[in-house]
A and B are shown apart, each in its own frame.
Chain A
Amino acid sequence: MNVIDLRQALKPYSKGWVAIDKKNKRVVAHAKTFASISKKVEGIKNIFLVPASENYFGFVTSINA
């Protein structure tokens, strides 16, 4: 199965939220907070939201109460 390659799309962003077009994987909006990206993408179809980060590697969870 083809992966969803976001390397180019996410490269310029290290924080905030990015809205990405589902088809061409291009960034259609960026904002600092979830509230502001939500405002920016109102009415835009066929996108998804991704949090921008400086580093996506090295994440590990084991979350126990």
Chain B
Amino acid sequence: MRKYPYYIPANKVYKPWITVSIGYKKTHKITPAPITALIDSGADVCFCSKDIASFLGISEKNKQKVVFTTANRSPLPTFLEVLTLYTGGRNYDCSFYISDKLPTETPIILGQLGFFDHHRVTFDLENKEIEITYNSDN
């Protein structure tokens, strides 16, 4: 089990962010430094911005397309690719849905499938910490 602090990017805003790196096996590229990612229990899957995907050399061609619906009912077009998620001193293959329509402040969203199914997560805003246990640690 590891504990992570909350982030404060602006006054009275507490974000359950962790830093992760993302790699793409087909191009052998990895993000040059850890990136803040939102741990989001309300997201069904994991998302990654197209900006980051392009850097990793991922092409949209011949990829499965999925359109999600956001909280305000607007469509979120994505395509699927399996990336390597580096977090908590481990890495594993994780399905990411890639989109150029993600909010700019959340280029990586860690959702139920891909993150919560690999970890037990406890949000403790009162103590400004997040406890994350990798499932095989249980």
B-binding residues in A (CB < 8 A): 1-7, 10, 15, 19, 33-35, 38, 41-42, 44, 47-53, 55-57, 59-65
Contact = CB atoms under 8 A, between A and B. Distances in A.
A1 B129 contact: yes
B25 to A, nearest CB: 18
Contact of A61 (B14, B42, B51): B42
Contacts of B10: 7, 10, 55-57
Main secondary structure of the interface of A (DSSP, over half): loop
Interface stretch (B31-39, B82-90, B115-123): B31-39
Interface of B: 3, 5-15, 19, 31-36, 40, 42-45, 47, 49, 51-52, 54-55, 66-71, 76, 103-107, 109, 111, 127-129
B55 A38 contact: yes
Given A61-B40, A63-B45, A49 B35 contact: yes
B109 to A, nearest CB: 7
B47 A63 contact: yes
A49 B128 contact: no
Contacts of B7: 3-6
A33 B51 contact: yes
Given A35-B51, A55-B10, A65-B44, 11 more contacts: A3-B5, A5-B8, A50-B9, A51-B104, A56-B9, A62-B42, A62-B43, A62-B70, A63-B69, A64-B68, A65-B66
